Each structure stands twice: as structure tokens, then as C-alpha cells.
Amino acid sequence: MVKVMAPATSANLGPGFDFLGLALELFNIVTFTPADDWTVTAEGYGAEKLAGRKDLLVCQGIEKVFSVTGRPLNGGVVHLENLIPEVGGLGSSASAIVGGLVAANTYLNNPLTKDVLLSLAVEIEGHPDNVTPAIFGGLIGVVKDQTSTNGYS
């Protein structure tokens, strides 16, 4: 079993639309253990809509890491402690994605670098402005860079 925290984020700060993102001191907590099928429980914001579903962003993140590393996964026992509101621009979807990616990567003893996790997070989320600070922390400016390993600098 692993338990990880993924921060809330704020993006589109001032003139930094789709460029600047900031990790905040507010976190969602993901607990994960592989299992034969998916069991999802949740508490906090949106818990009633999340419990029992296996199509969640956090589960997509978990599945993505297992797939990329070539490890088999039939399901998992996931518990979500949602301290980040679903609305209000605090990056709850980025936190869910990163929480799933980091939980699975931690369970597998960290075979993937943060740069690879960023690539996977952007693949799921579609844009880097919230997932980047959720992975790296702090205030981040993100630009496309085809020369970098993950496509962003």
C-alpha cells in the first residue's frame, strides 16, 4: 500500500495564461494497493460522485504508469481524501491525475522520472499548466520545447 499527496494548483496567473502555474499548500491524498478488481472509496469534496467508479482520472493515472512500465494491473483498491474543491480553479483534475501517477510510480519503486510523469500527465490532462507544478512544486513557467525529453521546459 502507498499513500501520496498531490497539491492543488493555480494556473493562468496574471499575464501567464497557459504558461504560469503554482503549487499550493492544499492537497488531495491518494491511497493505492493493486488488486484483482477496482474498489474506489472517497471522502471529502465530491465523494458521493466518486466512490465506486473506476473511470476516474486518478485510476487513469495509475493504469498509465503500469502500462508504460509493462507491469500487469487488473485493478486496485483506491481511497481518495479530497481536500481540494472540484470547482474554483484549484486544479483538482491535475491533482487527481498526478496523485494516480505518483501513487503507482511509488508503488513500483519509482521507475519513471518526473519528466516522464509530466509527459504522461499532459497526455491525460491535455495541457501542462496545472500538472507541471503539481509534479515539480513551486511556481512554474511552462513552454513547448521539442528538444527536451518531455516536450516542455
**Domains delineated in the chain:** 2-141 (3.30.230.10)
Q: Tell me which of 42-56, 65-79, 119-133, 139-153 is least confident.
A: 139-153
What is residue 15's predicted lDDT score, i.e. its pLDDT?
76
- Residue 96 phi/psi, 5-degree rounding, is -65, -45
> Of 110, 116, 121, which Cα lies nearest the Cα of 4?
110
Q: Identity (one letter) of the amino acid at 56?
A: L
Alpha helices in 7-82 (DSSP H): 47-50, 57-68
Look at the chain and count its residues: 153
Residue 145, pLDDT score: 63
Q: For residue 96, how many other CB atoms are within 10 A of its CB? A: 28
Beta-carbon neighbour count of residue 133 at 10 Å?
27
Q: What's the mean pLDDT in 101-122?
A: 97
Taking the mean position of all CA atoms in its chain, how far away is CA 63?
12
- Average pLDDT value for the chain: 92
Tell me the whole-structure pTM to 2 decimals: 0.92
Are 64 and 119 in contact by the 8 Å Cβ rule? The answer is no
At 61, give phi and psi (nearest 5°).
Answer: -65, -45
pLDDT of res. 146: 60
